[in-house]
């Protein structure tokens, strides 16, 4: 068995503490914590208090310097502010290290092209932390759209609405809610990255995009906190597939009743409310190796734990000479599959070792497509028109 891959974490951020460090520690047979970069001016508790055996450095350059530097072919996990992702990823690749970068990995298609070329030339793995591919509700939706055997209970999909709403009428601060779009701030880069990634994973790039992006919490904040995206796909015999993505920070529903997915097909529909449980479980200190990690608690509201599946039931045969009877509809609450964030770093380890990668692994082409989609959304919102996928951004 090969030795664990040494890991350096750039930024002792909320993302690092909540997601990356617990998930990496849960994969101790594949990864070992080597270095944490935390600025001495950070307002967070010192990383050394929680990780006394890790090497703690102040600056990013120190990660790759000195006798105890991160070795080549180690893994660098970048959890710093969005505007720094590209530069830090390039720095890690220059030192021939593998890279996991928080979304969005880059803020332009030029940066995407440069990152792709640099990783290929250095022969290292570079990927993006798109953990929402492994959300419980998204895994359930995928299982309904493409079951292991037989046809989808929804029939041919005609409409999908995917939302990530919260009720936060007052900005909580931090660079995500303070920095301008050009610096990686705002909800489109933040939550839009996830929703767009899920849509592109399911359906590929659209023909065109229409978008509305706005700031609803003025005058407290001028940073955008609300978006509505329409992804236009080619027409089929029953019309075009309609994909709508949206997020709002001022959505006054209970958490367990926030609409998450509405999927409609010719034969059925699926409705899921509320968000995946894994983030809250990690914040509460539940180990990713726990047997109930990724599953909703039985004590939680049914509207959160369960999804509503409605399917078409064949009608009674019509009498000879009469018009066909309309089909009936049957509805039932169905359980949500467990979420699987632990599979993210399993996929990274497989990629580094040259093994087959599951589709939870984000390729750099997918990263570029995601960036293009978000830039096109911005262009559509600014110009007040639909934009084609092939337009310049």
| One domain for residues 61 and 123 | yes
Residues 70 and 14 in one domain: yes
Query: Is 249 part of a structural domain of the chain?
Result: yes
Q: Are residues 102 and 179 in the same domain?
A: no
Do residues 102 and 168 both lie within one domain? no
Q: 258-293, pLDDT tens digit by residue?
A: 999 999 999 999 999 999 999 999 999 999 999 999
**154 and 123 belong to one structural domain:** no
Please tell me whether residues 140 and 194 are part of one structural domain.
yes
The answer to whether position 124 is within a domain reads yes
Nearest to 211 by CA among 369, 393, 387: 387
> Which range marks the domain in which residue 74 is found?
5-129+343-362
166: domain CATH number is 3.30.360.10
Please tell me whether residues 120 and 69 are part of one structural domain. yes
One digit per residue, the tens of pLDDT, for the chain of length 393 reads 689 999 999 999 999 999 999 999 999 999 999 999 999 887 788 999 999 999 999 999 999 999 999 999 999 999 999 999 999 999 999 999 999 999 999 999 999 999 999 999 999 999 999 999 999 999 999 999 999 888 999 999 999 999 999 999 988 877 777 788 889 999 999 999 999 999 999 999 999 999 999 999 887 778 899 999 999 998 765 567 999 999 999 999 999 999 999 999 999 999 999 999 999 999 999 999 999 999 999 999 999 999 999 999 988 888 888 888 899 999 999 999 999 999 999 999 999 999 999 989 999 999 999 999 999 999 999 999 999 999 999
Mark whether 166 and 117 lie in a shared domain. no
Contact call for residues 119 and 326 (beta carbons, < 8 A): no
Q: Give yes or no: residues 158 and 249 share one domain.
A: yes
- Asked if residue 379 and residue 237 are part of one domain, the reply reads yes
Q: Which residues contact 254 (CB under 8 A, 6 or more apart)?
A: none
> Are 45 and 117 members of one domain?
yes
Residue 313 lies in a domain: no
**Does residue 200 belong to any structural domain of this protein?**
yes
CA–CA separation, 266 and 152 (whole Å): 10
Question: Can the peptide bond before residue 86 be classed as cis, meaning omega within 30 degrees of 0?
Answer: no
If asked whether residues 125 and 154 sit together in one domain, one would say no
The answer to whether position 331 is within a domain reads no
In a domain, 115, yes or no: yes
Which CATH number do you get for residue 358?
3.40.50.720
């Amino acid at each position: 068995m090969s030795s664990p891959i040494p890991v350096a974490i750039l930024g002792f951020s909320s993302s690092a503490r909540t997601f990356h460090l617990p998930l990496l520690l849960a994969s101790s047979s594949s990864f070992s914590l080597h270095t944490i970069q935390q600025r001495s001016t950070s307002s967070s508790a010192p990383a050394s208090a929680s990780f006394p055996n890790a090497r703690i450095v102040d600056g990013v350059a120190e990660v790759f310097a000195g006798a105890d530097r991160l070795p080549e072919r180690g893994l660098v996990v970048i959890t710093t502010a969005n505007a720094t992702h590209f530069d830090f990823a390039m720095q890690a690749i220059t030192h021939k290290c593998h890279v996991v970068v928080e979304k969005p990995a880059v803020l332009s298609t030029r940066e995407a092209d440069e990152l792709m070329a640099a990783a290929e030339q250095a022969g290292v793995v570079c990927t993006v932390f798109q953990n929402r591919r492994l959300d419980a509700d998204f895994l359930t939706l995928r299982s309904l759209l493409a079951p292991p055997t037989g046809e989808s209970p929804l029939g041919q999909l005609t409409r999908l609405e995917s939302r990530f709403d919260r009720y936060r009428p007052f900005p909580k601060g931090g660079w995500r809610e303070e920095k301008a779009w050009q610096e990686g701030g705002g909800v489109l880069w933040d939550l839009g990255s996830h929703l767009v990634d899920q849509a592109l994973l399911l359906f590929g790039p659209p023909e065109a995009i229409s978008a509305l992006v706005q700031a609803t919490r003025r005058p407290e904040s001028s940073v955008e906190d609300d978006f509505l995206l329409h992804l236009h796909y080619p027409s089929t015999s029953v019309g075009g597939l309609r994909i709508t993505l949206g997020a709002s920070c001022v959505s006054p529903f209970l958490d367990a009743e926030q609409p998450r997915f509405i999927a409609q097909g010719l034969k059925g529909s699926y409705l899921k409310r509320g968000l995946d449980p894994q983030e809250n479980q990690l914040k509460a200190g539940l180990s990713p190796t726990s047997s109930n990690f990724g599953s909703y608690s039985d004590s939680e509201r049914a509207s959160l734990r369960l999804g509503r599946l409605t399917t078409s039931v064949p009608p009674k045969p019509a009498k000879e000479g009469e018009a066909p009877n309309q089909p009936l509809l049957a509805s039932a609450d169905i359980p949500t599959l467990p979420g699987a964030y632990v599979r993210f770093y399993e996929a990274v380890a497989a990629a580094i070792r040259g093994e087959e990668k599951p589709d939870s692994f984000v390729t750099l082409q997918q990263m570029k497509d995601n960036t293009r989609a978000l830039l096109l959304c911005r262009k559509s919102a600014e110009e007040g028109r639909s934009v084609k996928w092939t337009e310049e951004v």
